[in-house]
Amino acid sequence: MRKIVVFDTTLRDGEQAPGFSMNIDEKIKMALQLERLGVDVIEAGFPISSPGDFEAVKKVAETVKKPAVAGLCRANKKDIEVGYEALKNAFRPRIHTFIATSDIHMQYKLKKSPEEVLETAIEAVKYARNLCEDVEFSAEDATRTNLDFLCKVVEEVIKAGAKTVNIPDTVGYTVPMEFEKIISTIMNKVPNVDKAAISVHCHNDLGLAVANSLAAIKAGASQVECTINGIGERAGNASLEEVIMAMYVRRDIFNDVENGINTHEIYKTSRLLTSITGVQVQPNKAIIGKNAFAHEAGIHQDGVLKERTTYEIMTPESVGFPSNKLVLGKHSGRHALLKRIQDLGYDIEGIDIEKVYNKFKVLADKKKEVYDEDIEIIIENQTSIAKEAFSLEYINIVSGNTAVPTATVQLMDAKGNISMDASTGDGPVDASFKAIERIAGVQGRLKKYRINAVTAGKDAQGEVVVSVVFEDSGIEVTGRGYSTDVVEASAKAYLNALNRYLNRKNFGKKEVSDTI
């Protein structure tokens, strides 16, 4: 069996997409879940792009123990030196360096000849190899590169010491038949190709990232680069869950390859990412969308009741997708809750069960039924490692069609100090936001506001997602809050955005945008 190395770039290429930025603690939390998922390589960031990204790569490199940790570096000594400085304490550090090889990039972006680009690539790999044993080279915009020149680049960087050579479809331009030919040509024409792994990194501009990745694997590629939920610049990257489950379900076609992914962790990993970023996947998203295993049509329902495989090519359980078989309410005990938490795929050892149970009982008193999503929200809130400058202790609202909307809010800061203030507003939500701002001493401008019913029923727990631009810096941050009371959920969401902003402000904003 041929081992397919799974290279996850959620924390680098995925995080570069607008609205998906993560702070250091969020990157660490995501990296630990990727480790549980079983990825082989975690690309943790672009170290030279900002002090915050350098620190995030450094912390991830020092935290995870099983996967290799990679940092992206342009093909120059300064980038590579900074990259290695961030990675040097990793159990398995990898320097990932790149330069563009297509005519359009060489002429208009780099303003270099093919000979100069080849020399730069060779020197970068040699320099990186002097610092780090594991070096990956990427030929940016490979699918629009002259194939003979691409083969020459691959051959020479392998000679220079690259252990992995990546063939990126940087702008999502190729199609499966063409990409399979490109990879096959490299596998057959490059004389020393057996000395390195050939990798692929596909973007989804034409919706073909997963199909192209699978075609490359069939042609001989032994590493696939992807992201959770398919996030990434523009239309995103190849979706990890789709690539993996395609190989899993179609083992009749991919019968000569294997990978180390624990598919039962897929749904949990997806949920963690949406919790961190505040960006939901579309309902019909393959594998992890809420409708992925839903059947409404009568013919489909009849077929599934008789034999699940009539309309389900994989089981929800195979990807850790929860099912609402166990109904929990205010009369349920710890054992029932513990069983449901385990069924949802959470590691019991990492959870304070007593805290979760107490929160569960409070919620159960407000709702007739507590659903899986409710439990996940409680666990995520109780186990969050994000640093909070302020937490909500108390909120009281006075509102009505004959009253001036007024909010009284009590917050506790990180040192345990309690502050209370009140404010009026155009409505109870606006008043609560203004009261929070008065206590925190920070002014924000609400850009987006969205309410979702997380669970079913009139007593559903609500999810509020806000986007806030903070006026002293212009930084835009997303926040989320949950409650059966929509005003409380709104206050929690605004406070979540404020805490994320205060964390992010300490590390500055990215300045470098060159990517593969």
Q: At CA 94, angle to CA 90 and CA 95, rounded to 5?
A: 125
Tokens 């490299």 correspond to what residue? 186
Tally of CB atoms within 10 A around 175: 14
Phi, psi angles (nearest 5°) of residue 16? -75, -15
**Residue 304: pLDDT over 80:** no
Q: Identify the weakest region by mean pLDDT among 120-129, 333-342, 463-472, 476-485.
A: 333-342
Q: pLDDT confidence of 513, banded at 50, 70, 90?
A: very low
**Short-list 98, 95, 97, CA closest to 133:** 95
SS3 513: coil
Domain ranges for the chain, please list them: 2-277, 322-383, 390-505
pLDDT for the residue numbered 303: 74
Q: At CA 39, angle to CA 185 and CA 232, rounded to 5?
A: 70
Kindly provide the b/e burial profile for residues 34-49, where b requires at least 16 CB atoms within 10 angstroms of the residue's own CB.
Answer: bbbbbbbbbbbbbbbb
Please give the average per-residue pLDDT across 363-390, as a whole number: 70
Tokens standing for 100?
Answer: 């563009």
Q: Identify the weakest region by mean pLDDT among 33-42, 54-63, 102-111, 385-394.
A: 385-394
Measured CA distances, 21 to 232, 238, 277, 491, 501 (Å): 11, 19, 7, 22, 11
Question: CA 238 to CA 259: how far, in whole Å?
Answer: 16
pLDDT for the residue numbered 340: 74
Question: Are 272 and 30 spatial neighbours (Cβ–Cβ below 8 Å)?
Answer: yes
Question: CA 137 to CA 123: how far, in whole Å?
Answer: 11
Kindly provide the b/e burial profile for residues 358-374, where b requires at least 16 CB atoms within 10 angstroms of the residue's own CB.
Answer: ebbeebbeebebbbbbb
- pLDDT tens-digit profile of 222-267? 999 999 999 999 999 999 999 999 999 999 999 999 999 999 999 9
Question: CA 49 to CA 73: how far, in whole Å?
Answer: 9
pLDDT for the residue numbered 116: 98
- pLDDT tens-digit profile of 18-45? 889 899 999 999 999 999 999 999 999 9
Q: Do the domains 2-277 and 390-505 sit in the same CATH topology, yes or no?
A: no
Tally of CB atoms within 10 A around 162: 28
Question: CA 24 to CA 435: how far, in whole Å?
Answer: 28
Question: CA 506 to CA 142: how far, in whole Å?
Answer: 37
Q: pLDDT confidence of 334, banded at 50, 70, 90?
A: confident
Please give the average per-residue pLDDT across 44-72, as a whole number: 97
pLDDT for the residue numbered 301: 57
Question: Are 59 and 34 spatial neighbours (Cβ–Cβ below 8 Å)?
Answer: no
Quote the mean pLDDT of the chain.
Answer: 89
**pTM, rounded to two decimals:** 0.77
Q: pLDDT confidence of 327, banded at 50, 70, 90?
A: low
For 390-505, which CATH class?
alpha beta
Pick the CATH number of 2-277 from 3.40.190.10, 3.40.50.20, 3.20.20.70, 3.40.50.1110: 3.20.20.70
